[in-house]
Amino acid sequence: MPTVAVHTDKFARLVTATLLANGMPTARQAYVPQPVVGRTAAQLRAYVEGTDPVSRRPFMQEVIEGLCRPLDDKDLKGVSFERSTPRLLAPDSEENLQKLFIDNSWTDFLPVTLPTEERVDRMLKGTSHAPDEVVGRLSPTAFRESWEFTVEKVAVNAVMAGCRPEYLPVVLALAASGQTARSSSTTSFATLALVNGPIRGEIGMNSGIGVLGPFNHANTTIGRAYNLLSQNLQGGSVPGDTYMGSLGNWYNYSAAFPEAEERSPWQPFHVQKGFKTEDSVVSVFFGGRYTLAGFGPRQTWQQEFRRAFAACEQHLAPLIVMDPICARGFVDLGFDTKEKLIAWFADHARLSAREYWDNQWIQTLLRPLAVAGVEPHASRLKAAPDEMIQIYEPGDISIAVAGGETQGAWRMFGGWHMKSVSIDEWR
């Protein structure tokens, strides 16, 4: 059936690249100006009656010709081709290679350790897996093509990030998660990585003072490796092509930390997810686009957390990282498991229905489900505008304990728990 797809003009390069990757570069498209969100009916009518900002021709002419213009040879053939990437690059000086990596958007614009054959061979000693074993596939979004990668390719990126060989099983587990740390979403996601189990101590990760900052070699380089491998193994993270985050996200440099299991009053996160205490596991949390902070629990902790949850984005539940002082304070209040505290949080994380539904992503992703009668969305849609409605289910909220006990601090990061992956399987 003849079709024309309508996009906003900011996505023109992405559309072109996606069409080529799908073998049909001449598929008919039409463009309107960005944005559509927030525009009135009259403004959108002007888009329809106006000019396609990409072709500079009348928008409706593009649409109608897209459906009716006869096909030519290119339309009938599409394009087919093999692509690959070489194992090794042409020899060059260190200065030129650093420039090449920057020019090709293979770095995070901080200096990288060049992945020489010797360094990659040394890195590969960190795992028993063969260099040519396929680890998995990654893509910038679910709707883009997925690129495949091997153990050696992961090791290359681990070298670039400055990792030591003993970190490689963690980096391989992150790569095997299938969850990119470089989503191309317009909403500027990051993916946070939580490490549990004995490997934390074996490789010297820091769960104490400054756990979430640049104060530990393993924490920092593992998080950096996850981001570098995501951009390079998925086919890029280049603004306008394979990255569309409007604001970007500093957590895209590095965001990996271990749980302070030995100082936590609660069950470790990976045990909550069905692993054994002695298992080494990395869990990935997709989000990172908001951060809130507080201290406590003090006398008014309930009000403080109600305010905090009301300030969270209603479409993205938080990962809450608590210093052990804070966690033990909640135990003193009777919350002797994470699950009990999460249940309280879920019950008291509320917004008026008016505010809840006035969110672009709630409208886009959850309203159709509500209209179709899917719970709990349908009940939330039925609520009166001023009714305070629950915005998260208990399963949406995660808690991890980490920190140096210099403050009873907590922090909330937007973060859906996506997956927990065995590190031991990649040793």
Restricted to residues 321-350, the positions that interact with other proteins (CB under 8 A) are none
SS3 state of residue 364: helix
Q: In terms of Cα–Cα distance, which of 132, 161, 129, 166 is closest to 229?
A: 161
Task: Give the number of residues in contact with other proteins, rule: CB under 8 A.
Answer: 97
228 touches other proteins (CB under 8 A): yes
Structure tokens at 375: 């719970």
174 touches other proteins (CB under 8 A): no
Site string for other proteins, 40-79 (x = CB under 8 A): xx--xx-xxx----------x--xx--xxxxx---xxxxx
Q: Residue 20, Cα to own-chain centre: how many angstroms?
A: 25
Q: Which of 12, 20, 310, 418 binds other proteins (CB under 8 A)?
A: 20
SS3 state of residue 58: strand
82 touches other proteins (CB under 8 A): yes
* Structural contact between residues 113 and 139, judged by C-beta atoms closer than 8 angstroms: no
Report the residue number, 80 or 299, with the smaller CB distance to other proteins. Answer: 80
CB of 404 to other proteins, least distance (A): 35
23 touches other proteins (CB under 8 A): yes
192 touches other proteins (CB under 8 A): no
Q: Which of 188, 206, 216, 232 binds other proteins (CB under 8 A)?
A: 232
SS3 state of residue 62: helix
385 touches other proteins (CB under 8 A): no
Site string for other proteins, 105-124 (x = CB under 8 A): -x-------xxxx--x----
18 touches other proteins (CB under 8 A): no
Report the residue number, 26 or 291, with the smaller CB distance to other proteins. Answer: 26
- What's 212's DSSP letter? T
Site residues (CB under 8 A) for other proteins, limited to 264-323: none
Q: Which of 124, 151, 156, 173 binds other proteins (CB under 8 A)?
A: 156
Site residues (CB under 8 A) for other proteins, limited to 121-150: 138, 142-143, 145-149
Do β-strands 281-295 and 409-422 pair in parallel, antiparallel, or remain unpaired? antiparallel
Alpha carbons within 13 A on the beta-carbon side of 25: 11
Q: In terms of Cα–Cα distance, which of 274, 264, 285 is closest to 207?
A: 264
Structure tokens at 83: 């692509």
* Cα Rg, the chain, nearest whole Å: 24
CB of 160 to other proteins, least distance (A): 6
368 touches other proteins (CB under 8 A): yes
Q: In terms of Cα–Cα distance, which of 422, 126, 417, 151 is closest to 284?
A: 417
99 touches other proteins (CB under 8 A): no
SS3 state of residue 165: helix
